[in-house]
């Protein structure tokens, strides 16, 4: 076997190339939206041939789906790290705060959460029922765990809190979209002075969630660690079932900050 052939089969080179493709696709999606981006555009952006893109992803839609999957995986990795290192992150108001910032720092996630048709194109209409069902189940189990540990207000059912939490969270995300990129300058200028920074808006979301859904009972440190461990297990299972395991290891830590090879084939 020639040295050139050996290098072409080097898995690290395949991973690096896949990461470069995903980076180029993400940049183009953010600038132009899925409808206006072709595989040829991505290949040019990644400085490779069009056929090389198809070695990694069979279709344009699968490539774009991998771009969004990577953004989701990185956000989940951040949350898992936070819960491992700071167990209080599993409490609804802290979780909302960190989740909100994770989404806001990733425009792809904001567009995905709000089903932005300009950004997603046909992907906005393509849902994986199994993934949607699993995500819903994890959400239900999360809030039931919180109820079991006595974190939620007694007069509210876990299912009610799950619905209201999601509605509240998405409301803040939508408001952020108007503030950052809406076409109404008057609305932006009116909102900006009152809640001037992204971090402050995340704090406001956290306070809203805390007052609306949580009781005032302090959670003991040992109990909090047990709750956090259960929540980590929930989200790790979601990661594994979605196929994100290559990006998040079993401890809940990202293997490397720049790992981006989601969807890379075994042969490269």
Provide the residue-wise pLDDT of the chain in tens; the chain has 268 residues.
444 444 446 667 878 899 999 999 999 998 888 888 999 999 999 999 999 999 999 998 889 888 888 888 888 888 999 999 999 999 999 999 999 999 988 888 888 877 777 777 766 556 566 556 667 778 899 999 999 999 999 999 999 999 999 999 999 988 887 765 544 555 555 555 456 789 999 999 999 999 999 998 889 999 999 999 999 998 888 777 665 555 444 444 443 333 333 333 333 3
In 3D space, the residue among 50, 53, 49, 73 whose CA is nearest the CA of residue 62 turns out to be 53
Q: Which of 85, 17, 13 is nearest to 56 (CA)?
A: 17
Main-chain phi, psi angles of 59, to 5 degrees: -135, 165
Q: Reduce the DSSP state of residue 254 to 3 states and report it.
A: strand
pLDDT score, position 122: 67
The reported pLDDT for the residue numbered 262 is 34
pLDDT of residue 186: 54
Q: Quote the pTM value.
A: 0.76
H or E stretch at 179: helix 158-181
What pLDDT, on a 0 to 100 scale, did the predictor assign at position 22? 94
CA 16 to chain centre: 22
Contact between 60 and 172 under an 8 Å Cβ cutoff? The reply is no
Predicted local distance difference test score (pLDDT) of residue 68: 85
What are the extents of the domains in the chain? 11-57+247-268, 83-242
Q: Which CATH code fits 11-57+247-268?
A: 1.10.10.60
Contact 253, 80 (CB under 8 A): yes
How confident is the model at residue 94, as a pLDDT? 97
**Angstrom distance (rounded) from CA 163 to CA 170:** 11
Place of tokens 């470069």: 20
Q: How many helices (H) and strands (E) does the chain have?
A: 13, 0
């Amino acid at each position: 076997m020639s040295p050139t052939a050996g290098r072409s089969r080097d898995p690290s080179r395949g991973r690096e190339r896949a990461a470069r493709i995903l980076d180029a696709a993400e940049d183009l999606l953010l600038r132009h939206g899925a409808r206006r981006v072709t595989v040829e555009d991505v290949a040019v952006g990644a400085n490779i041939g069009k056929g090389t893109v198809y070695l990694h992803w069979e279709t344009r839609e699968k490539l774009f789906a991998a771009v969004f999957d990577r953004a989701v995986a990185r956000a989940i990795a951040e949350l898992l790290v936070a819960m491992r290192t700071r167990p209080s992150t599993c409490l609804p108001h802290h979780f909302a705060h960190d989740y909100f910032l994770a989404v806001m720092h990733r425009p792809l996630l904001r567009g995905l959460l709000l089903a932005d048709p300009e950004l997603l194109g046909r992907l906005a209409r393509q849902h994986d029922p199994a993934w949607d069902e699993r995500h819903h189940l994890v959400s239900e189990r999360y809030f039931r765990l919180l109820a079991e540990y006595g974190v939620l207000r007694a007069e509210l059912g876990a299912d009610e809190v799950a619905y209201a939490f999601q509605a509240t969270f998405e409301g803040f995300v939508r408001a952020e979209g108007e503030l950052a990129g809406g076409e109404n300058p008057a609305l932006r200028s009116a909102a900006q002075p009152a809640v001037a920074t992204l971090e402050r808006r995340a704090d406001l979301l956290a306070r809203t969630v805390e007052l609306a859904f949580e009781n005032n009972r302090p959670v003991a440190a040992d109990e909090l660690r047990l709750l956090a461990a259960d929540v980590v297990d929930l989200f790790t299972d979601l990661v594994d079932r979605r196929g994100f395991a290559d990006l998040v290891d079993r401890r809940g830590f990202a293997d490397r900050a720049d790992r981006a090879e989601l969807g890379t084939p075994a042969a490269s």
